[in-house]
Amino acid sequence: MKGTIVILAAGQGTRMKSDLPKVLHRIAGKPMLRHVIDTARDLAPERIVVVHGHEGAKVREAITDEDLLWVEQAEQLGTGHAVGQALDALIGETTLVLYGDVPLITPLTLERLLVKLEQADLCVLTAELEDPTGYGRILRQGEALTRIVEEKDATDEEREIREINSGIMAFRTELLRECIRDLDNDNAQGEFYLTDCVAIARDAGHRVTAVKAEDAIEIQGVNDRVQLAALERAWQLRKATELMKAGVTLRDPGRVDIRGALFFGRDCEIDVGCVVEGDVVLGDRVYIGPNCVLRDCTLEDDTRVEANSVIEQSRVGRGCRIGPFARLRPGTRLDSGARVGNFVEIKNSHIGSGSKVNHLSYIGDTEMGEAVNIGAGTITCNYDGANKHRTVIGDRAFIGSDTQLVAPVTVGSDATIGAGSTITRDAPAGELTLSRAKQTTITGWQRPKKEGR
Ligand code: UD1
Ligand code: CA
């Protein structure tokens, strides 16, 4: 695109009732303003200008792109005034005005607007709504646009009109400059309305036209948290549809949340209630059970994650089985065929191929070989209160249930550890090691009886 995209983001967002500036509230894990900037970038404009308001510092802290041009609108005197603050920053033939709180607008729709502008001087993005309440209405004479009237300034008859102003407009930059100069604030809200540019341009004989958005959700703005939630759902449904069309089975497209990038092979299946964050890569035929959270992880072919498991910054090989109720914390690597069962936590550890940690265990800072069997309730005591230490477990070792491995410690390959042991020194390969008080029986012992009987 030859020209500038101006993103209006100075509004207060009072109805969010939040300490966070409105445009930083998130949709799909990403601030609304970030969505709009990313969409703007898709059009490859010469410049992107963001008009920010009183909480600009917080917004700029959150959005650190170096090439953005920030303009302050110290007082919010209306959308026309906001664009007015950006006039000095405009370069190129065309100016496209977007809103920081209208996050679902797509590059495709904006392209249509820009193409239409090639035959005009001003082009407005409109939509037909069942309920147009609150929006500016589009007034036409025949096909031609004559004026936009704000709800608060409209007559009863004008309020019946269901074609509304999305707020998004494209201008020939020269015309925009002229129109902004001519704006006044003689209206119900005492604001400088950008929408008045339509009547000004038309009265001066310029060509004013419009494009209708095909899907009204694209032009929906966020004023409160109810609308925020509605757009989140709409975004998620759009994403879910995209995933299903690309070959992922979703048990219910209404009950999955993608807050990052999901990459996938063939025939993956995601059950209800899952959340995907950051970059998640699934191989072929990966199954994710209900209510799982996957954050920045890779799961290779044929791996199954059963219900209620949480996996973060981990790499899982082929054919592994995880959960239900498992937690893989950052730095976990499972080789092919490994199993991690219920109520098991693994952190910063490498689990060799075919090894099993099936029940109620904590494995931290551990290097584990292949075909190891970890009994129920095994704990690596990796932290001495000051430093973390490593545990090394050789191939085919068998760790009896309820064992504590006090790191740093090494269990040799083919070693067996007796159940209930506290292992503080290295256990040699191939041998049975146990630390356990000898079991005794006191024959004829009587339970104490209550006094006075
Ligand atoms: C505006 C339009 C209305 C349209 C609606 C679509 C005008 C006069 N009205 O109304 O026709 O149907 O959007 O949602 O343009 N902003 C600033 N500085 C300001 C005022 C607003 O940056 O001084 C920004 C806000 O942050 C927001 C956008 O402009 O992103 C729209 O402002 P808002 O007050 O919500 O406009 P509406 O009254 O809803
Ligand atoms: Ca609004």
Please tell me if the CB atom of residue 195 comes closer than 6 angstroms to any atom of ligand 1. Answer: yes
What's the token pair of residue 84? 């007015």
| 359 counts as catalytic | yes
Pairing status of strand 163-172 against strand 249-250: unpaired
Pairing status of strand 163-172 against strand 94-99: antiparallel
258-265: long-range contacts, CB 8 A cutoff, minimum separation 24: 258/28, 259/28, 259/29, 259/30, 260/29, 260/295, 260/296, 265/301
Please tell me if the CB atom of residue 309 comes closer than 6 angstroms to any atom of ligand 1. Answer: no
For the CA of 10, the closest atom of ligand 1 is 22
Which domains, ranges and CATH numbers included, belong to the chain? 3-219 (3.90.550.10), 225-433 (2.160.10.10)
pTM of the model: 0.92
- Segment 405-437, tens digit of pLDDT: 999 999 999 999 999 999 999 999 999 999 999
Please tell me if the CB atom of residue 77 comes closer than 6 angstroms to any atom of ligand 1. Answer: yes
- Residue 175 Cα, ligand 2 centroid: separation in angstroms? 24
Q: What is the pLDDT of residue 408?
A: 98
Q: What is the pLDDT of residue 24?
A: 97
Q: Mean pLDDT of successive 10-residue segments in the chain (453 residues)? A: 97 91 97 98 98 91 96 96 98 98 97 97 97 96 93 97 97 98 96 98 97 95 96 97 98 98 98 98 98 98 98 98 98 98 98 98 98 98 95 98 98 98 98 95 95 80
Q: What is the pLDDT of residue 453?
A: 67
- Segment 12-29, tens digit of pLDDT: 889 999 999 999 999 999
432-433, strands of its sheet edge to edge:
249-250, 269-270, 287-288, 304-305, 321-322, 339-342, 356-359, 373-374, 398-399, 416-417, 432-433
Helix (H) or strand (E) holding 50: strand 47-52
For the CA of 22, the closest atom of ligand 1 is 26
For the CA of 75, the closest atom of ligand 1 is 23
What's the token pair of residue 375? 């009994």
By residue count, the chain amounts to 453
